[in-house]
């Protein structure tokens, strides 16, 4: 990219990404923190925790609402646990029927690169149960499964996880966000480009200063299509009084 402002062509969205439909989400990190704060018993692994916190999950059978559960780590798509010895045992246990042919011809083993180790409980942020047919087929890469009898437990790991020393607990608080800079061309100083200007945010300034009468003037260029504008202004005085204008 050059140092000058560059205008890109307008994007036309032809299809939207299908979202993953979630049946239930369990906040593992928050539940473990709560148990630590009130000195409750701490489970050793995810399935044991779910057995006590999720009324639909039974650890002894590995089922959620009566369905077998395949646990997958988000993003990496690693299969870390599965019902009925999905990830362990001989080749016959690690196969899935992909069509109506004989099991010898149509079975498909779970690939080694898709297998993973169940994360430690303190590494997990949350687990989401997914029962939607289309979502299951998009997430699962090990072979064919029957969504009517199987669901997916999608595990989300903590970001930048570092194992804490024994007896020490770190708590992180969200701070302020750095102001984002928006593209604001100065058309009186550059040659007008051939491409139209399709900016949605015409002007954004988090540091407008008023005069002694509390007034300020801002100036900006319009885009190539806007005929009406939505204006939002938030103010704060030296005494801490705030105000909001939506117009």
Residues of the chain with pLDDT > 90, as a percent, come to: 22
What is the mean predicted confidence (pLDDT) over 1-9?
66
Q: Using the predicted structure, report yes or no on whether residue 127 has a pLDDT greater than 90.
A: yes
Question: Which pair of tokens denotes residue 114?
Answer: 């898709």
DSSP E strand boundaries for the chain: 24-26, 57-58, 63-64, 67-73, 78-82, 124-130, 150-157, 232-236, 242-246
Where are the domains positioned within the chain? 24-157, 180-247
**Chain segment 210-242, per-residue pLDDT in tens:** 998 889 999 999 988 888 999 999 998 888 888
Q: Using the predicted structure, report yes or no on whether residue 113 has a pLDDT greater than 60.
A: no
Q: Using the predicted structure, report yes or no on whether residue 103 has a pLDDT greater than 90.
A: no
185 to 18, 192, 196, 216: CA distances (angstroms): 35, 10, 12, 21
- Residue 130's SS3 state is strand
Residue in 205, 213, 196, 198 with CA at minimum distance from that of residue 231: 205
Which of 26-40, 77-91, 150-164 comes out lowest in average pLDDT? 77-91
Q: In whole angstroms, what is the distance from residue 240 CA to residue 192 CA?
A: 43
Instruction: Kindly indicate the confidence band of residue 156, based on its pLDDT and cuts at 50, 70 and 90.
Output: very high
Q: In whole angstroms, what is the distance from residue 30 CA to residue 35 CA?
A: 9
**Chain segment 57-83, per-residue pLDDT in tens:** 998 888 999 999 989 988 877 788 764
Q: In whole angstroms, what is the distance from residue 40 CA to residue 53 CA?
A: 13
pLDDT score for 86: 46
Q: Which residues neighbour 79 within 8 Å (Cβ) at sequence distance 6 or greater?
A: 70, 71, 72, 86, 87, 110, 114, 115, 116, 140, 142
Q: In whole angstroms, what is the distance from residue 131 CA to residue 68 CA?
A: 11
Q: Using the predicted structure, report yes or no on whether residue 101 has a pLDDT greater than 70.
A: no
Report yes or no on whether pTM surpasses 0.85: no
């Amino acid at each position: 990219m050059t140092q000058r402002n560059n205008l890109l062509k307008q994007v036309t969205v032809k299809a939207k990404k299908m979202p993953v439909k979630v049946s239930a989400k369990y906040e593992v990190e928050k539940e473990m923190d709560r148990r630590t704060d009130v000195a409750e018993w701490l489970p050793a692994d995810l399935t044991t925790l779910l057995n006590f916190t999720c009324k639909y999950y039974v650890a002894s059978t590995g089922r959620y609402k009566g369905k077998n559960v395949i646990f997958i780590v988000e993003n990496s798509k690693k299969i870390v646990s599965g019902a009925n010895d999905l990830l362990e045992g001989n080749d016959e246990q690690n196969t899935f029927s992909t069509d109506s042919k004989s099991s010898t011809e149509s079975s498909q083993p779970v690939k080694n690169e898709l297998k993973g180790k169940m994360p430690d409980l303190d590494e997990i942020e949350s687990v989401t149960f997914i029962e939607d047919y289309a979502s299951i087929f998009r997430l699962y890469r090990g072979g064919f499964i029957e969504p009517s009898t199987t669901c997916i437990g999608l595990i989300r790991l903590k970001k930048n996880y570092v194992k804490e020393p024994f007896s020490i607990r770190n708590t992180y608080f969200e701070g302020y966000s750095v102001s984002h800079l928006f593209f604001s061309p100065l058309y009186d100083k550059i040659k007008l480009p051939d491409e139209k200007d399709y900016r949605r945010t015409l002007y954004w300034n988090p540091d407008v200063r008023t005069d002694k009468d509390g007034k300020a003037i801002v100036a900006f260029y319009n885009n190539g299509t806007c005929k009406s504008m939505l204006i939002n202004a938030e103010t704060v005085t030296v005494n801490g009084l705030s105000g909001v204008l939506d117009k």
